[in-house]
Amino acid sequence: MSKNIPVKKEVLFIVNPVSGGRRKNKLQDSLFRHLNNKKYNASIVFTEYAGHAGLLTEEAVKNNIDIVVAVGGDGTINEVASKLINTNTILGIVPLGSGNGLARHLGIPRYIPWAIRLINNLKVTSIDTATINGKPFISIAGVGFDALVAKKFSDSERRGFFTYAHIVANYFMYYKPKKYKIKLDDGSIIKTKALFISFANSNQFGYNTTIAPNARLRDGKLDLSIVKKPKFFDLPLVANLLLLRAIDKSQYVKTLQTKHFTIYQRKNRNVNIDGEAIKLGKSLEVKVNPLSLKIIIPNNNVQ
């Protein structure tokens, strides 16, 4: 009597070749070597231009691929994940980018063999996503100074923490806080002048800088963090609070939770969408899409 042979799942690795600075052949060998080939049939494709990862993911969904693994930074993860929302295809992550905000929140390691081990274990949960004027984001978005930094960082030829820190230091002193009006889901209005305002699904920008310590990926809410510009002599304290996951204790930060809100800017300025800067208009409607994305996680509970 023959035994039932388990059906292998189909896995597609979508790789941003710019992220991580690894050679294509070496990276491909590493991904395949550590994947459990008794459980998976795997293929790999390298992106060739901005937006390519999204197109490849759409095709994978149409072809009933079981798992699509984004290999890259937060921008690549956003492109892939945006096309997996409300589908049965599962997102995997091998973080090779600079900030890796979502991967850090989830506890996904940057070391490739360990990240692949999570895919082999295949523990899956569903997390919230959100949209700004219909444009999806998975981890964090926002307006103001962080969107300026995202724009300058994406335009830079270099990546990494020191480039990010250099941009922040160069522009911070001269950046003037902007005026915003926020209409919350209960109808109340907040008028404010802020250095930046973050819409946090996960808890950090990346580089372990935590802007929303209490943000959770499965609570159906966003943490709306309104950040005033600190005085110069308070900067070291604010920086430490970011790294210590206690920025919500700062006098310069006000945080509230909401499912749906609209924020009004005086000009059509850049919006930070998972580390990418784009313009979406002066009026920005932000909505949560609860438990809309299936994702592979470590064995700890996701918050």
Mean pLDDT, residues 270-284 taken together = 94
What's the confidence (pLDDT) of residue 1?
43
Q: Which of 64, 88, 122 marks a domain boundary?
A: 122
Band the pLDDT of 240: cuts 50, 70, 90. Answer: low
144 and 282 within one domain: yes
pLDDT tens digits for range 153-190: 887 777 777 787 788 888 888 889 999 999 999 999 99
In a domain, 298, yes or no: no
In a domain, 168, yes or no: yes
107 and 154 within one domain: no
Structural domain count of the chain: 2
Band the pLDDT of 243: cuts 50, 70, 90. Answer: low
> What is each CA distance from 178 to 104, 147, 181, 227, 303, in whole angstroms?
30, 12, 10, 11, 32
In a domain, 301, yes or no: no
pLDDT tens digits for range 53-65: 999 999 999 999 9
Query: Average pLDDT, whole number, for the chain?
Result: 88
Side chain identity at 286, as an amino acid letter? V
Q: Which of 94, 122, 150 marks a domain boundary?
A: 122
In a domain, 66, yes or no: yes
What percentage of the chain carries pLDDT values higher than 90? 59
Contacts by 116-119 with C-beta closer than 8 Å and gap 24+?
A: 116/31, 116/34, 116/35, 117/34, 118/92, 118/296, 118/297, 118/298, 119/11, 119/35, 119/40, 119/67, 119/69, 119/92, 119/296
Could you give the CA distance from residue 47 to residue 152 in angstroms, rounded to a whole number?
22
Q: Please report, for the domain that includes residue 58, its CATH number.
A: 3.40.50.10330
139 and 117 within one domain: no
Q: Please report, for the domain that includes residue 223, its CATH number.
A: 2.60.200.40
In a domain, 197, yes or no: yes
Q: What 3-state class would DSSP assign to 182?
A: strand
In a domain, 297, yes or no: no
212 and 236 within one domain: yes
In a domain, 80, yes or no: yes
CB–CB of 74/275 below 8 Å? yes
168 and 222 within one domain: yes
74 and 159 within one domain: no
Could you give the CA distance from residue 107 to residue 298 in angstroms, rounded to a whole number?
7
115 and 241 within one domain: no
In a domain, 130, yes or no: no
Mean pLDDT, residues 119-126 taken together = 95
Mean pLDDT, residues 218-229 taken together = 93
172 and 92 within one domain: no
What's the confidence (pLDDT) of residue 97?
76
274 and 191 within one domain: yes
116 and 144 within one domain: no
Interacting residues of 97 by C-beta distance below 8 A, sequence separation 6+: 16, 19, 20, 72, 73, 74, 75, 76, 77, 159, 206, 275
Range of the domain at 30: 9-122
78 and 145 within one domain: no
66 and 90 within one domain: yes
